[in-house]
Structure 1
Amino acid sequence: MKGKRILLLILGWLSLITGVIGIFLPLLPTTPLVLLAAWCFSKSSARFHAWLLNHKFFGPIVKDWQSSDGIPRRSRNRAILFMWAGMAISTFLVWRFWATIGLVFIGVCVSIYLLRMPLRSEPTKPLQPKPIEEKDKAS
């Protein structure tokens, strides 16, 4: 059992490090790797899992995924847009027929998955009071 725990810890850290690199490299996905790291840490280390959940940048990703509330519409639409943009760039750079077919197939499957996910209502911004102008103060 200890070997499995160590293997999951190593996989979790490799996944998280690769996800961080993915922030800067357009073809490397960040979110799935962070979610994989969260799963690995949940099975191997409560301390690292709690750290990831409370992380300033990665915590909201993991919390949104683990909650059953769904994802915000804006995040879903942005994910679909950037995914297709990245795949279009990849297609033009590689320009191989089978790679294009593979990317389109993956893109369609992921898009269907994201479109079928429940949407969480986003909190509305409270209305800000209109500033009082100098003319109004005098009266």
Structure 2
Amino acid sequence: MRWIWLGAGWAAVTLAILGIFLPLLPTTPFLLLAAALFARGSPRLHVWLLAHPRLGPPILDWQMHGSISTRAKSLTLVAMGVAFLITLLLRLPGWILLVQLAVLLAVAGFILSRPGPPPGAA
């Protein structure tokens, strides 16, 4: 079973890293998933992920405070806006635009409802 947790953890890390460059693929949720999977499959990799200078801080902010940094919120909202603009420019059917807009607004509402990390956190 340990190998399944490890494989799934690495898959989540890979998707998270891809999400840094692909606007529609989220990064942080995959990092959170990877941390949970590594916690079950490899304490060493779990510690590595939490201690990573780039990948660790958003995980720690979420685990300790349920928070999302202002920078991450801003980047996410801009990426969501660009994604919606692309679908508008592609002239997709109205029902697709409405479904996408509803999902994006729900996600934006959740993101904006999360507090920022306290000063000096992670």
TM-score under structure 1 normalisation?
0.71
Residues 30-85 of structure 1, C-alpha deviation per residue, up to 9 Å, x if partnerless?
Answer: 22212211111122211111010111210112111111162333432332222222
Q: Identify which of structures 1 and 2 has the higher relative contact order when contacts are C-alpha pairs closer than 8 Å and 6+ apart.
A: 2
Q: Confirm or deny: 8 A CA contact 2:35 2:49 kept in the other structure.
A: yes
- Aligned CA RMSD, in angstroms, stands at 2.3
Q: Quick check: 1:9 aligned with 2:12?
A: no
- Sequence identity of aligned pairs in percent? 34
Shift of 1:101: 2.6
Q: Quick check: 1:55 aligned with 2:52?
A: yes
How has the CA–CA distance of structure 1 residues 62 and 27 changed in structure 2, closer, same or farther, with 3 Å as cutoff? same
Residues 84-136 of structure 1, C-alpha deviation per residue, up to 9 Å, x if partnerless?
Answer: 2233324534724343233212211111111221233446xxxxxxxxxxxxx
- The correspondence of residues 64-83 of structure 1 with structure 2, limited to 5 A, is 64-68=61-65, 70-83=67-80
Q: Give SS of 2:65's match.
A: coil
Q: Confirm or deny: 8 A CA contact 2:68 2:111 kept in the other structure.
A: no
How has the CA–CA distance of structure 1 residues 75 and 54 changed in structure 2, closer, same or farther, with 3 Å as cutoff? same
**Distance in 2 (alpha carbons) for counterparts of 1:69 and 1:27:** 22
Q: Determine the structure 2 residue equivalent to 1:87.
A: 84
Task: Structure 1: state its 5+ residue gaps.
Answer: 124-139
Q: Which runs of 4+ in 1 moved over 6 A?
A: none
TM-score under structure 2 normalisation?
0.79
Pick from 104, 109, 115 the counterpart of residue 112 of structure 1.
109
Q: More helix per residue: 1 or 2?
A: 2
**Distance in 2 (alpha carbons) for counterparts of 1:117 and 1:94:** 33
Task: Structure 2: state its 5+ residue gaps.
Answer: none
Q: Confirm or deny: 8 A CA contact 1:72 1:121 kept in the other structure.
A: no
Structure showing greater radius of gyration is 1
Q: Determine the structure 2 residue equivalent to 1:24.
A: 21
